[in-house]
Structure 1
Amino acid sequence: MKGPLLIMAGIALFGLLDANTKLLSGEFSPAQALVFRHGVLLVLLFGARAVSPLAGGTLHTRHAGLHALRAASMLVSGMMFFLTFRHLPLADGYLVFFTNPFMIMLMAGVFLGERIPRAAWLWSGVAFSGVLLALAPQLGQPGGSLLGYAYALLATVFYSINITINRALRGETGFARLLVWPSALGFVVFAPFAAWLWVTPDLLQTGQLMANGLLAGVATVTLALAFRHAGPARLAPFEFIALPWSVALDYLVFGKVPDAILLLGGGVVVLACVMSERAAKARTGS
């Protein structure tokens, strides 16, 4: 159960990150938030390595090209998601993003040669139907555009590339390499824009901006570790757990009471995860 538990924990952490970012979004530019995020990660990592030189493992890798591609895909995915919600309502963007488990399974089959059982496609499809059910009342609202859907599709493709590379790098131990390269690239790229759009935060906001870095780092490592312990076929349905988790955060953080159709869609997602895991256990005889 390590893989499923880790991916659910990673998605939960990303949900907390998104909620914290939403609280900050009215005051700060995305560039400033991302510079804080990447800067905090770099300070924490190299601070830990100053105390213990091998903290997080070695930075040396025999797969420099894969790490460079992973860092670039994370950067492009983040930019595309930001642009998506300038042009689309949230529900439309989320629906496009929830196609990512299918993309990840396809990429794992094509590029990593992994076998994807029919049960994984089936229960991922059931989970996606739960998402569609939950979001259907909100789809097609005014404000959507073809450009927005293009941004959402690109964001999802590059996110799926990132996850597939995480799986390809599963033989590497430690987490330092998973953090340092995307953080360094993100800091260098976003620093000029952050300086241009800088807003001085107060003490509480500084803490929130720093928390973004900590949450992003732990979530990134947790998600990468999930794909070291299990393949996309087993984990794909669990990615849809983001739907009920986002509903819970909307209620707990922003006081938004979910309607019955959202709860029903979330229930379908949870059912699909349970049934997918039962199918995986039956295949392995455990």
Structure 2
Amino acid sequence: MLAGIGLFGLLDANSKLLSAGHEVWQVLLVRFATLLLVVFTIRALVPGWGGALTTRFPRLHAARSLVMLGSAICFFQAFRLLPLAEGYLVFFTSPFLVLALSAWLLKEAPPPVAWAWCAVGFAGVAIGLAPGLLGGGEAGGAPLLGYLYALGGTFCYSAVFTLNRQLRAEPGIGRVLVWPSLLGFAVMLPLGLTHWSPPSALTLAQMAGNGVIVGIATVCLAEAFRHATASRLAPFGYSGLVWSLTWDFAFWGRVPPLAMLAGAAVVVFACIMSERAAARRP
């Protein structure tokens, strides 16, 4: 779990670096193409790796692929405008959105105390983002758009998590990697070629590296959930904040304001308490 979260943090940092000179469509096109190439190369060398690609739930996989694509686009655009740590602060509201989606789609009714902790968590987000929203962030109002992108990406990610629970009867990593990548490649191909900007050898390697990183990270998380329960693993997800702070300082020299750190502490605490309350429901 820690390895997977760390790799996703590296993916976001690398994408932010790429966003300075290339459009999201081009970066994602190379990412999906690389991931497909890697997966099918491994399957050629190790027949049957990742399990079957056919599915009994094509509609669920189609929905999952769509929201995964939405998540990738939104987070890329969010981190183009925001420091990593601020984007992750919005992302940490995902457990609250999962509660809402589970209540709506899976008919799982969390106890009222879980909703109360949700309210506390969003208050923490408000504390952390207040400096940017009130004019202490980037100029020109860019952060507000960045926050909206981050919220959209978080909603899509929460939908992916909810759909994963509906697909838990299907073992194997192959479907999880291939179907979203095929859809992403098909959508990004015309857009990526239209907005193609000739990359340097290093930049192209960074784009291809994203495909390798996301593939390994996905496998790591799948293995984590195979060996431990979601409730056991959930707190480790907040290690993403440490990675975001680290990359923000290492690449851009950013030191987070105290309000952001205070808000993050409130959000993480509220998430943990909300998840504990939901786990104790009858």
TM-score by length of 1: 0.77
Q: 1:99 to 1:25 in 2, by over 3 A?
A: same
Structure 1 position 31 matched with structure 2 position 25? yes
Give the counterpart letter for 2:67 in structure 1: S
Residue of structure 2 in register with 1:47 after alignment:
41
Structure 1 position 67 matched with structure 2 position 52? no
With 187-196 and 201-210 compared, the bigger mean Cα shift is at 201-210
Separation in 2, partners of 1:225, 1:124: 29
> Which runs of structure 2 are paired with 1:177-192 in the superposition (5 Å)?
177-192=175-190
Q: Which runs of 5+ in 2 are unaligned?
A: none
Contact 1:237 1:272 survives alignment (8 Å): no
Separation in 2, partners of 1:265, 1:149: 15
Residue of structure 2 in register with 1:165 after alignment:
163
Give the counterpart letter for 1:69 in structure 2: A
Contact 2:75 2:149 survives alignment (8 Å): yes
Give the counterpart letter for 2:58 in structure 1: A
Separation in 2, partners of 1:110, 1:230: 23
Give the counterpart letter for 2:56 in structure 1: R
Structure 1 position 213 matched with structure 2 position 207? no
For residues 65-118 of structure 1, what are the alpha-carbon distances to aligned partners after superposition, in whole Å with 9 as ceiling and x for unaligned? 1101101111233334455678x7669876655443211112223322445355
Q: Which runs of 5+ in 1 are unaligned?
A: 1-5
* Secondary structure class of the residue paired with 1:20: helix
Q: 1:115 to 1:164 in 2, by over 3 A?
A: same
Q: 1:271 to 1:69 in 2, by over 3 A?
A: closer
Residue of structure 2 in register with 1:174 after alignment:
172
Separation in 2, partners of 1:102, 1:274: 10
* Secondary structure class of the residue paired with 1:139: helix
Contact 1:123 1:275 survives alignment (8 Å): yes
* Secondary structure class of the residue paired with 1:70: helix
RMSD: 3.6
> Which runs of structure 2 are paired with 1:245-260 in the superposition (5 Å)?
245-260=243-258
TM superposition shift of 1:64: 1.1
* Secondary structure class of the residue paired with 1:198: coil
For residues 123-146 of structure 1, what are the alpha-carbon distances to aligned partners after superposition, in whole Å with 9 as ceiling and x for unaligned? 555554444333221124342699
Give the counterpart letter for 1:207 in structure 2: A
